[in-house]
Structure 1
Amino acid sequence: MSTSKTPGLRDRKRTETAARIHAAALSLVLSGGLDAATIEAISEKADVSPRTFFNYYEGKDAAILGIQPDTSDDAVFEDVLADAEAGSGEPLALVIRLVLATMGTSTHVHSPARQADRMAVMGRHPELITGQFAQLAARRTRTVEYAARILAAHPAWAADPESAPSTPLVIALCGAAVKSAIEDWAATTPGQPLDENHLEERALALVHHTIRSLS
Structure 2
Amino acid sequence: MSRLSIDRLHVGYGSTGVLTDICIDIEAGEILVVVGPSGCGKSTLLRTLAGLLTPTSGQILVDGRPITGTSGERALVFQDDGLLRWRSVRRNVELPLAIRKVSKAERQTRAEQWISQVGLKGYENHLPRELSGGMRQRVQLARTLAGTPRVVLADEPFGALDAQTRTTMQRLLVDVWQQHPTTVVFVTHDVDEALFLGDRVAVLGKNGRLKTVIESPAARIPDADSKAARTEILGAVAA
Flag whether TM exceeds 0.5 (same fold): no
By relative contact order (CA 8 Å, sep 6+), the higher-ranking structure is 2
**Structure (1 or 2) with the greater helix fraction:** 1
Task: Give the structure with the higher percent strand.
Answer: 2
What TM-score do the two structures reach when normalised by structure 2? 0.29
